[in-house]
Amino acid sequence: MGFRRLAQFGVVATLASAALVLFLPRRGAPLPSDAASPPATTPPNDDAAIRTAISTTFPAPAARTDLPRQGGAEPAAVSVARPRANGDPALFGKLVALGQGLELGEALARNARMADAYVDRLCEEGRKLREHPALPDGSSRDRDAAEFMAPLVDYESPLDDPPGRLHLADALAGRVKAYGADWPAKISDRDLEALDFRWMSTLQRFDHWSLYGAGRLTEQPASFADFYRQSIPNYLSLQLWSKLRFAAAYRRGDLAQASAEVRHLADLIRTQSILIAEMIAVAIYRLDARARELAVAKGLDTAGWPEADVSRIDRHRRIAFASLYFTYPGVKPETVREAVECMPSPCSALLEGAGANRTFDPYGGADNLDLVTDLAREHGCESATLDRVRRFRELTAGETLTVVADDVAGQIPKFFSDSR
């Protein structure tokens, strides 16, 4: 969708137009290259998994190299010296960067106003979820699965080689994805050949899975990465394993055990306290609900298999997404504190908020990095992840706009629009 623009920020369009005039070629000269414009970047590693797991995507990458005026709004009066026809490319880049910074700053300011307006709604929804939780609280953190999972799981690029021991052949993964919503009925005996699910049973020994507790992620230097392109486990592969486990259970008759193993996998993923992990956990709980629905339709024995409340799970998803925008740069500190106390799962919002403040806080009216860090520590959020997030590099406004392409100021109202 991109950031919506206000008429009073027509100065952005004026600056961009002036930059274009600066960069116009002489008559008969070849057109200039796009080298001075902020480059389109590789989509975030988590984007593919999110697109498969949930309907709403964040961040959604999109190349942003210009700032066109929208809706015919007249630009505000601004004095710009008439440039030479054969202008300086460096000045072009500076003017575009200034326009991008103004655009991002205004979006963050409007998000802050939405946070003030909706914090009471967040508290109302948070109270409902605390009274009737959609997912377990996962408060125990005594036995870390990181060392066990490190050699098993696949990772996203650039840490995807070599693959983990749980790597599914491309042909098998492609077939399971292609089955769509009918996967419980379409997964075949051929798909299940030679698959060993004992690792899922072993996982029940553990009560959390720290993101940086062991494995190749610990070897990735934070200083050269940015928050939106950090390498993470390939959670999509674990979703596929969950589907295959249920398909095997239909044949074995151990449906309740399969549900317990799959839900526990989701709970462990969720303890990593980043938004994509939270959303994948939600998606796996929905797989559990779908598998149970088919088992009931087939007349199979579902004794000991608890029924999931899908509507409550969807409410949890919406509020988890909305929550992170209350921790963004520019939101008033008192609003941040009030919102965090109302969140049913504050750690994912706080760690994402720390990443946002570290990444683009210069463009917000208030830097909340220290505040959200303190709140994250108070709530017992994963300290190793938090420390790493604080070491990620800052992004320019242009880089930020390529990864935060959704309308930031419209996210809070969107996630509350159907939460009644």
Express each pLDDT in 275-328 by its tens digit: 999 999 999 999 999 999 999 999 999 999 999 999 999 999 999 999 999 999
Q: Per the structure, how many domains does the chain have? A: 2
Is the full-model pTM beyond 0.85? no
Same domain, 178 and 304: yes
Mean pLDDT of 253-265: 97
Whether residue 296 sits in one domain with residue 351: no
Query: Does 321 or 31 have the greater pLDDT score?
Result: 321
- Residues 271 and 303 reside in one and the same domain: yes
C-alpha atoms less than 13 angstroms from C-alpha of 306 in its C-beta half-sphere: 10
Identify the band that residue 225 occupies on the pLDDT scale cut at 50, 70 and 90.
low
Q: Which helix (H) or strand (E) holds 357?
A: helix 346-360
Query: Is there a domain that residue 2 lies in?
Result: no
Q: Is residue 317 part of a domain?
A: no
Q: Which of 308, 332, 351 is the endpoint of a domain?
A: 308
* 167 and 76 within one domain: no
Which whole-number Å values give the CA distances from 179 to 244, 259, 266, 384, in the listed order? Answer: 12, 20, 21, 38
Three-class SS state of 373: helix
| Residues 302 and 327 grouped into a single domain | no
Q: 3-state class of 233 per DSSP?
A: strand
Give the Å distances, CA to CA, from 42 to 48, 104, 158, 379, 400.
12, 20, 12, 33, 12
Domain's final residue, options 274, 308, 342: 308
Give the pLDDT band (50/70/90) at residue 8.
very low
Residues 150 and 125 in one domain: no
Q: Count the Cβ atoms, other than its own, within 10 Å of residue 223.
A: 8
DSSP 227: G
Domain membership flag for residue 234: yes
In a domain, 258, yes or no: yes
Structural domain range at position 347: 7-134+322-416
Of 277, 308, 339, which closes a domain? 308
Q: Give pLDDT, residue 396.
A: 63
Count H helices, E strands: the chain? 18, 0
Backbone angles phi, psi at 241, to 5 degrees: -60, -35
User: pLDDT tens for residues 130-174?
Assistant: 999 999 876 678 999 999 999 999 999 888 899 999 999 999 999
Residue 316 falls within a domain, yes or no?
A: no
Q: How far apart are CA 296 and CA 74, in angstroms?
A: 61
Together in a domain, 336 and 279: no
pLDDT of residue 419: 53
* One domain, residues 27 and 104: yes
Sequence-ordered list of residues with C-beta below 8 angstroms from that of 291, at least 6 positions apart, any chain? 184, 246, 249, 255, 258, 259
Q: Residues 157, 296: one domain?
A: yes
* Residue 214 maps to a domain: yes
Same domain, 256 and 328: no
**Can you give the pLDDT at residue 390?**
85
Residue 187 maps to a domain = yes
> Rounded to an integer, what is the distance from CA 51 to the centroid of its chain?
10
Say whether both 182 and 282 belong to one domain. Answer: yes
Q: Say whether pLDDT at 15 is over 60.
A: no
Percentage of the chain lying above the pLDDT 70 cut: 68
**Is residue 298 domain-shared with residue 365, that is, in the same domain?**
no
Q: What is the pLDDT of residue 353?
A: 92
In a domain, 64, yes or no: yes
Q: What is the DSSP string of 66-135?
A: -----TTPPPPP---PPPPSS--HHHHHHHHHHHHHHHHHHHHHHHHHHHHHHHHHHHHHHHHHHHS-SS
Q: What is the distance between the alpha carbons of residues 182 and 180, in angstroms, rounded to a whole number? A: 5
